[in-house]
Amino acid sequence: ELFVFQRTPNWFFPKLDPVYPDIVKHLFRRIPLLMTIQRVTLFLMVEGWAWVWLTKGRLSQWFQILIEGNMRAQLDNQNSLTSKLIPKYNLGCKRVLLSDDFLPVFKKNRNCHLVTDTIECVTANGVKTEKEEVNLDMIVYATGFDIEGSICGFDTFGRDNTKLRDHFETQPCAYLGITVPNFPNFFFVLGPNTVLAHSSLVYMIECQVEYIMQTIQKMTELHIRTIEPRHDKTREFQSKMGEWTLNKNFSTACRSWYKNKDGVNFVLWPSNLLQYWWMTAKPNLLDDFKIGFEPEYLSL
């Protein structure tokens, strides 16, 4: 038997994961450009799709009605299930899941049980809720993410022995999600405000690695010894993140792993992906950074 202990329900999107027929695979092999066209098409479709359901407004509300109808259909509109599995918060406020077969598991299946009672503790025999103790052989502990902890997964110290985790307590931002003031020659991949809720993180990593490599190349060419973002540029970037977040569904009052303990969007990129590519396409060392040159270079 399977018992699912649920604290908060999730919105579920159709997975849309078709099996490619042999003729399509053959065409991809013969004409590789078709794969590129398909990739670009999917990229733009996902961007448009995310703009609809992540942005506050009527389109998002209508899309939520559509998704709710699909979820109710998967549950045969059984009130005993829909009351527990249909979220009360707006679509996009928390992480959306992709699945066509999770919800039907609880429909007319004697071996699968949905438990929404508050858990009091884990016992030697299983899990004790406010109503009963459920005896179990195995527990899969899957409760979410500690994003702040993962971004500062190990102690990192900058100027004046400043600890990165302490820095983020008061200034939860990195310039372009890559560099941090007072932490010279330190570069992030998937730093604050560069995680995605709708598309591939590989895209963000590629933009960031290209930006970092260009920066290092320029440092080598110009005999730059240290580099760190200016405070004013970082504050300006942080202000943009807050401003762009305001019209997103994840800026509402519900609790999610997108926000830090103060309710600030510390995680998600709040704009489209082409915007991030444009902002990271070419580093501007003179305008955006504090620079320290090699002493030998200054003495020439």
Q: Which amino acid is at 8?
A: T
pLDDT confidence of 298, banded at 50, 70, 90?
A: low
Sequence length of the chain is 300
Residue the block writes with tokens 């025999």: 125
pLDDT of residue 253: 79
> 10 Å Cβ neighbour count for 269?
22
pLDDT tens figures, 160-216: 898 988 888 888 889 999 999 999 999 989 889 998 988 899 999 999 999 999 999
Token couple for 29: 């092999």
CB 97 within 8 A of CB 13: yes
Query: Which of the listed ranges 54-58, 92-96, 277-281 does the model predict with the highest average pLDDT?
Result: 277-281
User: 3 has which bridge partners?
Assistant: 113
Write the CA distances from 4 to 52, 104, 112, 255, integer angstroms. Answer: 31, 13, 8, 21
Provide mean pLDDT across the span 283-297: 87
* Percent of the chain surpassing pLDDT 90: 64
